Structures are given as structure tokens and as C-alpha cells.
Structure 1
């Protein structure tokens, strides 16, 4: 490779002076190409870990891993240089990219306990919306440090020697660097040997520990391959045929049992309303904290009177769409790469769900969300999930707001309005927004519910603001009950939250209240993992329904359970869910709860075969060749998206036809 290294003094004609200048230029080039990646990795880890001492300790204890991170940073620098052709400009671009990676990862960990993943790049507007919620001195200092570093490197343009590589050499350097990053990203055989020799231990099921142990650049690169879900080893037409045969046998016995069981509705179809309340949780579960009065009277009454229990959420503090994905499709996030977002990555074609199932049963299947339809790609995904219509905030008429967002009471009014003006029975999947974080600003004015306990003033304010919003959610549920208890239409309501709220950075309120012992999730006991992912679930119906106690149930198994409560025949994938839930009702990537409520890190041996069936079916429906539809429930499993999706919001005549109305006058809504 030929380097054209020219000294800054171009007027010099003395060869004796030119040779030292060229030597100095070569040394400067080497120092820059080696030194900048070293400093970049150190800076990234310092931003991420927040402590000079912790960063040095990690480097000393993991020297091989440190140099692997440096190597990847060098490849990025070399690749950018091959494109740009200027050392200083390439260095500043690389510093900016790596700095942004560290900043985003730091913010995500502080907010929801998850680092920065390759697929987060696909979030676009969502990432900007979340970033706007991040404030604080620590974040501002880190942003300032990154900007200063970028400017300092850029200023080196007037210090470094001008280095010119022939075009062919730059192309070669760029291709080599790109391949090296690709090799580690997809873990080619050679890269795998290097990683094994270096002692890299990839902890996919605990990504925060994965990043802490391996370093940000390396862990991020290794996660690239996790963007592609690998085919299960025993996935085949034959294995799916065996699952179908088992399901057909169980469906036959299920029909026989159903024929002798009581149907409280005598075949009449009830409205089925799911309300997934944003960040809803029971703050009275916090230890060492007391409230001036009960903030959740409706929830606590229903826990005594109706079917209720707890759902095991795959999320904490964010990732609402992943909970929707589990409930609506019956699929589990534990079968997908840690930190992935199916709505962004995997749902790009029709996927069978509760929405498409209820539509097949003669229901009007509707999604309601009091935020903008583009968020988490719902506008497109809801069509692929088989909804007939999706009412996002753009279609709310002069909505009431409370705090930052549309109020929960307004959402309840919209649910009531949609049911009252629709002739057909309705399946409604509702997602609220009012009590979305952050809670460090008393956005509801003076909070009615006062907290007593050993909390700092900041933690006390955060908890009181959150509790006020949780109370509003509780009252919005009561509004629905008050309306439908006197309705002639049989109606069932399923109410729960998507995840625990993020009550301050680093789990501040949870720690101060003694709910958990550490902000480091890798140090949590299995019991703490369970507590930090358990969400209250309550149901209500205006018709007789036996009370059941649900100790714990994964979100992915909720749909099958509700269909059982309604005495509705379950389609194939939900029938398989019931079988698995009977053995392991709680299923996360790092926690398994068996039928006796015992906690495990892995699925018990007796359940492994059934879990593999579940994994194969999920892969078949999302990524595979749809073998299952060839053997069972073909129409449901292979159903295409609704041709008239959202027509009622674009074509008024279609709206009237869909609602079974002959005039534009809607049924009156009872005053609440």
C-alpha cells in the first residue's frame, strides 16, 4: 500500500528535511489510528459505567475484551476514513457515532434497564420521543463531553499531516474493515474462533450483563446477528404435523367437555373489551410506604369479587408494543432475541391474532389508542394483525387531556361510544396513554394522594404523581363498569397494565421503598425479577362468570385464558398456549414459573418438549413456511389483512355499513 505523506511545509525542497517530516507523518498517522480507538473505547465505557474507577477495573480485568472493542472501533474509523479521506474529519465522525451509541445506551439503561441494540436504529420517531423525556445533570454532562470530544478531534485537522491514499488502497481498506465488522456481527467461523479464544461469553438472556461484561462496542456488534431469528433445529413439516395432530386430538376432547359445561350466555356473543392501561401497577404493593387513602378502590374491590390475579410482563418501564404483541398473538418474547421489538422487526405480513379470530366470529374488531398511530408502527401492524379498524388519537374528537396526554376518562368515553353505536358485538383492544412517564414533574397539579415513608423528597413527589395517574386509571375502569352494568348487551372487561412504571432513574423509588435491594438487575433474585414484572389483572362482566384466582400468568397466555372463560373454542396456536400454560404459567427469558409457582431460570426438563413445540409454532407463524395452516385451522392461520381496514375513518359510507346503521345518528351515550 502506497502512502503519500506530505509535510505541512510544502516549500521545502531539501530531501534531508523531507525524510524526517515523512517519518513524523507516519508516526502521527499510526498514533491517531491506534490512539483514537483506544480513547474512544475508554470514553464509551466511562459514559456507560459512570465511574472512572469502574472503567479502569473493567479494562484491567478484561484486557482481551477491551482490545476486541478497540479493534471494532478501529474498523469503524478505518471504514469512515476510506469513504471520507480525511483523518480528522473521519475521526470526528467516528467519535460522534460511538459517543451517540454510548449516550443512547446510558439513557436506555437508566430509563428501562436495557442497553442500546442494533434494532433500536429502526425506531426513528419513537427514539426521539423517548429521548425528549430524558433530563438531568448527568445526562447533560455526558452530552457535553461527547460534543467537546468531537470538536477536539475535528480541530486536529490543522495539526495532523495530510495523508493521501490511492483510491484502490482506500477501497481495499474500506472493504477489509467492513468485512471485519460483518464477521463479528454475524459471527462467522473465524470470528467465532477469535471470540472463543478471547473468552467472550455472550449473555443473550440478560443484555445489561452482556454489555457490562463484554463492553459496549463488542456487545452491540454481537447483537447484530440476533436481529435475525434463527430457525429452530427441529423445525420441519413433520414436527409441525405432529403438533397439529396433538392439537386436533385435544380440540376434540375439548368440544366434548364444553358440551356438558354451562354457557351463561346461551350462545349470545358478548362484547370483549381489553384495556391495557399505560404503566398501570398497584403502588400500595411497595413496602415501607403508606398512602393517605386507597388510590385503587375499583381494582381492590374486583380482586375480591371477580376473576383476578397477576400477569408476568416481558417489559419494565417501556416497550408497550411487546406486551400487545404477546397478548394479541399468543407468542412469547422469550422466544425472540433480547431487546427486540416485533412491531418494528417481525410483523411485516398478516399474523393470526385475537383481533383476526374475533373478526372471524362475527365481531367488529377494533384497536383504540390515545396516542398517535405511527408510534410503534401500529398503523401498519394493526392491519397485519387483522383489526378491522384502528382509532388512534388523530380520530378522537376534541379529546380531554390530563397532564401531558389524552385522559383515561376520555378513552373510556370513546369505548362506550364505539360499543353503543355498533350493532355487531365488539372486540376492542385498548391502550391508554395518560400515565406515561416521566413522573418527576407534578403534572396533575396538587396530588390528592399523600405518601408517608422513608423516601427522599424527589422520590416522594415521583410516587405521588404516579399514584394520582394510577387512581385516574382506576376510576376510568369504574366508568366503564357503571355504564355496562345496566347495558342489555353482555360485556366482559379485561383490565391490566403493560409494565411496571419507571419511578425515577436507577429504580429510585423501588430501592428507597425497600421493594428491591439493588439497581443492578444482574443482582436481582428470582423473586425480585418476578415482583418487578408482575402486573395486576382484573376482569369484570355484566353476566355470571365463576370467580377464578390467577396467581401468575404470562401475557402471552392471557388470550387463551379469556377464550376459556368465554367458553369459546380456541384456535390452534392459542390451544397450544393453554397446554404450555398448564405446566409453566410464567415464561420470561430469565424466569420460569411452574404450575406450583416455583421459580426457575430454565424450563424444567418435563416441559422442554412442549416448549419446543411452542417455539416451532411461533417460528412457523412469524418466519417459517406456515406448515401449521396445512393441517389445522387453515382459514384463521392463513387469513389476509382486512381489505376495508380503517375504512370508517376514510369513507363515511363504509363506516355506516360496518356499524350496521342506516343513518349517521349514533346511539346516545349515557352521561358519566
Structure 2
């Protein structure tokens, strides 16, 4: 009996009928490619298309429709730019798998996974995925689950189901396609292998070059992204991703050019440099009695604080800052040269915290807080002289993720960063009248509650938000009026309204700051305060049109003040009329008569030669494309510009050493780490050093005594020999 042939089942029969049934034409592949590329970019944008629900942000939400409509509303083609970048990855996957529909499912799946992670991170911390997160995954992947927001497992489960459905759909489409979706289908295997290799390598190389150079000013990738409408917004990673696309915003932070390696950079050079400034520190410390960490130090970055009466062409009916003007008259104070106008807060903050200068960086590096610090393993900051992280506290009544501050302040050695979001909620969050920002008084009250006499000596950083833009008619009972002091240049109505609101905000900050200092005066422990405005507000449209006003639009107010319990109360050091934030730690040490580290000794010597140093400035509100073109700004003790070509040999040596120091810390091999170059002396360390020095001297004396005894024995032997002869 013949075996009966088994008949195929209904499902198998249907699949057999479907197999090879469709012959897909080339234009269909192209249309599908463009559609799937568009969907992939849309999925990525979905991941960042939400605001934090916990704080009112100044940046509006830009959803996917806003991302698309920018093409005709703003003539910005960032959608096309991101589609080109993602499309190249899609193309490489297509040639790698040699299956169009499989690559289509794979690119959609990759984008979906990234988007879900983006959404989790934005919801939890209002921060987009950054290159530094890759370091986190490598070092702390085991704790990743703890960062997942509530109900995330539901979204993950739905995502898994969607991926399964997507995979099944791609499999069906592949089976239905007569070509099986093969982009390369040739009987010549060597030729086919060559075509596939080229199809993978060319797109990968283009994407790699774009991602690694788009953040470098002047590169082809940079110029192309600018041509397509890319507008970097690096103060807010989520807004940047919403505005310019996830792919582009991530790429620009991937491999920034920090600075060129200075000539002669080596371990031997840096060790010699460290030794040279250790000698300088020894000379300075010989005449100083105090220690930095035996007093509390408070840094106050007062958002946009400056004297509007100094702005050319602006006249007010009353003084908006009488208290701070009086404080400045009785302590170390002056004007600070700012690199920003209307923006750039974190760059001034960076310089004050590190003692490094934006002037030394490559023009492409516009935000070290986001482009460099997250990648560093070592970054010395002024607060580290106070010892353990529990001695360092920071307060900022706004989003903790702005400028990546939350993570950076951990790296700086702070135990708590109090803000409106995150685990450390700032205690006081009162707003004034209709203002959208927390008032300065609330920021000060939050800091005071953590600064009692029983807390010991601390380093405290306060970053205010009250006078941040915009300057709408926020305040009731505003008695300020504004007019033009130049009849040939009248102020516009909107400009006068903004200045009027800003002047009222300055007066409120003035009173709150005076009250804060009075509270510190009542404490029994010594406290020193470094107060500075980061930049002028970008509201002086009339003055900014005149290039002769550049310097005036980049000078803010600063002072260094000590309470009555401090021996430095009422101190007024020389060469303080002009400064820049990188010199504050050296000036604070001089004001307190405190001993210094070799690095602070270096800054002290440089400040004696150059009172203020900043990169080139611009009269318009700072953008994030690059540091403006032009010569670095140097001011002398009288506030007059200095020409670098006229510097003497000692000044040129100091500036060269500055570049070596900054390169080693920010881009080099950290040869200075472990040399004690940034270690501020303490009473204990000085005692240990003196003990070690006495021990060394005792050993030298012992060696010298042994040598003398040997010499005496040799003489005795010679005398005996002579007598015998």
C-alpha cells in the first residue's frame, strides 16, 4: 500500500499561497524607506515631548507637530536633518541584514527603546539622554531599575508586546515579498559581498564623522547642521532635543573639542609647574594666619544682578540697589567682567567654582557643565577645601537638571543640591506677586536654615532665579520709572517696561541680600560671602546697538563680605576694583588672610598681573553656537583693556601655565592629581607638614653628623699614619 501524502494545514497553505506573491517595485521600497525613517524620528521625538509636571518652565513644550511646522514657520529643516542622520543608520542596517523589512522593524524597535528610556528619564529628572549616561550604564547598571518611574512596568510590557507584533509583521512582509526584501540580490557572491560591505561602511562612516564633529565649530558637519536650522539650546537638554531633534542634540555633546594641547605638555612639565607654585604658596602662606576651612564660605550667584544705572542711555527715578551699594563701600568689592549678556549663567558659575577660565577653551566649547564635566573623573572645585561632602551644600530654586547641575554638583563633592525637583526639595518656594520664579528671600531663607551655629563651618552655594528673564509686569506697587538719558536714542515702550520690571526685581534682591547678611552677622561662627551677578539681562536693546557699549554691558557687581564673628570683617583688599569669577577663590583667601594651595597661589599671581579675563563678548543675547570671535578680553586694575602683545615675560609665562593647568584638568591626563596642587592647607595638614619637615631636617642633621664623624676618623687615621712615618 502506498503511503498517503499528508495534506498541508490551512495556515501553512495560506502562507504558501502568500509566499512570493508580491513583486515590490523600487519606488515602493523608497516610499516605505522615507515613511519608516519619518516614523523613526517621530518616535524619538515622542520620547522627549513632555515637560516636567513639577515645575513651571520658561521654555515652551515643543511637540512633534512643532518640530515639523518649524519648516515653514521658521525656515528650519531640523526634521530633515534628523531624518538624514537616522536614515543613514537605517540604510546601514538594511545592507547589513540584506533584508529591507527586517531592517525596517529593527530601526523602529531601536528608536522605540530609546524613546521609552528618554521618556522615563524626562519624567523622572527632566533631562534627555546624555553621552555621560553611557558611563553610568557601564559603572552602575545594576541600579538602573531604581531609576524607573511609577507604572513604568506597564509601559515596558506594552512595549514588549508592540515589538513582538512588529517583528511578526516584518516577518510576514518578508515572506510576502518576492525578493524577500533583499537590497542586494546577485548570483555573483564576491560582488554581492562588496556591495553590502560598501552599503554598511559608507553610511556608518558618514554618521560617525557627523556625530563626532557636529559640535566642533567650523567643521563641515557643524556648518551643515547650522544651514539646516540647528539652534543649540544647551542650557536645557530636553528643550534642545525638542527643538533640534534627539539625534542632533545628543551628537553635539558626544565629542566636543575642549582645547588644543599646549606645547610641552608632559608629566615632567606639570610636576615642575606644581613645584614652582608650591614655592609661591609657601611665600604667601608665610605671612597669612587664617585657614579657609575654619570659616564658612558662601557663594551667591545672583541671577542677572547688575546696576541698571550704569547702562549707557538708561535713567531711573531712584536707586534700585542702595543697600548693596553701601555694602560694597565697606568691604572688598568691585565690578566683574562677565562673558555673558542675557545668558551663560552656568559658564560664570563654572569659572567661580573651578578657578578655570572660559577664555582658555576652544570656541566650540560653549557649555563645560554639559559637554565636559560629566565625562571627567577628577574636577577640583573651591568647596573641596571644606572636607567631606556633608560640609558642602547648594541651593537653587529651579529645575535641578538645568545645565546638568544635579549630577555635576555630586561630582563637585556636594552632599545636597536643594532645588524644586529631585530628592532634595528646597524648603522655601515663595514667588513675589505674579512672578513665575522663586524670590531671592526664599532662597536665602532655605540656606539659612542649613547654616546654624551648630552646623560647623561649611561651603554653601546659592544660585538665585528671581531676576531671570522674561521681565513682564510681575510686581505690584512698582515705583520705578525709566527714561532715556540720550535724547538722540529714545527707548522703546517694551524696553522701558522690561527695565522697569527688572529694576524692581533688583531692589527686592537688594533688600533680601542685606537682610541675609544681617542674619549672618548674628551668628557666632565666622562667615564670608562672595556675592556676584552673573550677567546683565538682555533687555537693553538700544544700548546694545552701539559696539562702544560692549564693556559696559558685560560688567556686573560683586563683593566679598565677612560677618562680625570673622577676623576679616571690614577687610578691603587691594586690586579689587575689577575682577572675573575665576579669581574669586584667590580674592576670598586674600580677604580672609587665609593660606592658599599652589593653584590658588597661581591665581593670586595672575590676578596681580591681569585683573579680569574673559573670552570675547557680544552685545546680543548669548547663543550656543560658539564663543564669539575676537581677542580674549583682559582688563588692568583700572578697568582698561590690555593688549596681549604688550604683556611682559612673566605675564606670558603665567598665561601659558594657565593653559597647561586647564588642559591637564579638563582634557589631559590629570598629571596634577595627587600632587597636592589644589590642596588647600588646613591647620592639621600644616601641623603634619611641619612635623614631616622637622623629621626630614632631623634625618639630614643625623646624616650630616655621621658624615662629620667619618671625616674626623679619616683625619685621625691620616694623622696616625703621618706620626708612624
Structure-2-length-normalised TM-score: 0.58
Q: Is the 8 A contact 1:620 1:628 kept in 2?
A: yes
After TM superposition, give the deviation of residue 82 of structure 1 in Å: 4.9
* SS of 1:550 mapped into structure 2: coil
- Structure 1 CA distance, aligned partners of 2:208 and 2:293? 57
Distance 2:531 2:502 in 1: 18
2: CA distance between counterparts of 1:49 and 1:585?
A: 48
Alignment of 1:131-530 (within 5 A): 166=183, 172-183=198-209, 186=212, 225-227=255-257, 231-256=261-286, 258=287, 269-336=294-361, 337-343=364-370, 345-347=372-374, 348-359=376-387, 364-393=391-420, 394-397=424-427, 399-402=429-432, 403-440=435-472, 442-453=473-484, 454-502=490-538, 509-511=539-541, 514-517=542-545, 525=547, 528-530=549-551
How many Å separate the matches in 1 of 2:257 and 2:131? 7
- In 1, Cα distance between the equivalents of 2:522 and 2:230? 57
Give the Cα separation in 2 of the matches to 1:565 and 1:499: 24
Q: How big is the shift at 1:599?
A: 2.8
CA distance in 1, matches of 2:218, 2:580: 29
Instruction: State the Cα deviation string for residues 92-130 of structure 1 (Å, max 9, x = none).
Output: x9xxxxxxxxxxxxxxxxxxxxxxxx98999xxxxxxxx
CA distance in 2, matches of 1:321, 1:27: 45
Q: Does 1:632 align with 2:676?
A: yes
Distance 1:418 1:81, change over 3 A: same
Alignment RMSD (CA, Å): 5.3
1:237 CA drift (Å): 0.7
| Aligned-residue offset at 1:22 | 8.4
Q: Which whole-Å deviations, capped at 9, do the CAs of 1:361-389 have from their partners, x for residues lacking one?
A: x9933222223434333333223212344
Q: Which residue of 2 aligns with 1:534?
A: 555
Of the structure 1 ranges 247-256 and 421-430, higher mean CA displacement relative to structure 2 is found in: 421-430
Residue 664 (structure 1) aligns with: none
More moved, 612-621 vs 219-228 = 219-228
In the alignment, the residues of structure 1 paired with residue 84 and residue 416 of structure 2 have an alpha-carbon distance, to the nearest angstrom, of: 50
1:251-280, CA deviations, whole angstroms, 9 ceiling, x for partnerless residues? Answer: 222133x15xxx6x8999433222111121
SS of 1:406's equivalent in the other structure is: coil
Greater CA radius of gyration, 1 or 2? 2
Distance 1:214 1:566, change over 3 A: farther
Alpha-carbon offset, residue 409 of structure 1:
0.8
Listed one character per residue, the Cα deviations across residues 399-458 of structure 1 (whole Å, up to 9, x for unaligned) are: 422222322111222333322253412322211122222223x23345332222333222
Hey, what does 1:574 align to over in structure 2? 600
Question: By how many angstroms is 1:25 displaced?
Answer: 9.4
In structure 1, list runs of 5 or more residues that go unmatched. Answer: 1-17, 33-43, 56-69, 94-117, 123-161, 503-508, 519-524, 638-672
Give the corresponding residue for 1:613: 657
1:11 maps to what in 2? none
- Map residues 22-33 of structure 1 onto 2, 5 A cutoff: none
With over 3 angstroms needed to count, the CA separation of the structure-2 counterparts of 1:558 and 1:226, relative to structure 1, is: same
Q: Does 1:599 align with 2:641?
A: yes
What 5-or-longer segments of structure 2 have no aligned partner? 1-22, 36-66, 95-99, 109-129, 135-178, 185-192, 233-247, 485-489, 617-631, 682-725
1:32-47, aligned counterparts within 5 Å?
A: none
From the superposition, tell whether residues 351 and 78 of structure 1 become closer, same or farther in structure 2 (CA, over 3 Å). Answer: closer
Asked whether the 8 Å contact 1:308–1:549 carries over to 2, the reply is no
CA contact (8 A) 2:359 2:614 kept: yes
Q: Distance in 2 between matches of 1:172 and 1:166?
A: 12
CA displacement 1:176-233 (0-9 Å, x = unmatched): 123124336657xxx9xxx9xxxx96699xx9x9987998699998996535655444
Q: CA 1:461/1:23 → structure 2, altered by over 3 Å: closer, same or farther?
A: same
SS in 2 for 1:328: helix
Deviations 1:539-589 (A, max 9, x none): 333323135463322211111111111111111222222222223332223
Following the alignment from structure 1 to structure 2, what is the Cα–Cα distance between the partners of residues 289 and 589? 26
Structure 2 counterpart of 1:99: none
Cα distance, 1:538 vs structure 2 = 2.1
Contact 1:363 / 1:424 at 8 angstroms: preserved in 2? no
Deviating more after overlay: 530-539 vs 371-380: 371-380
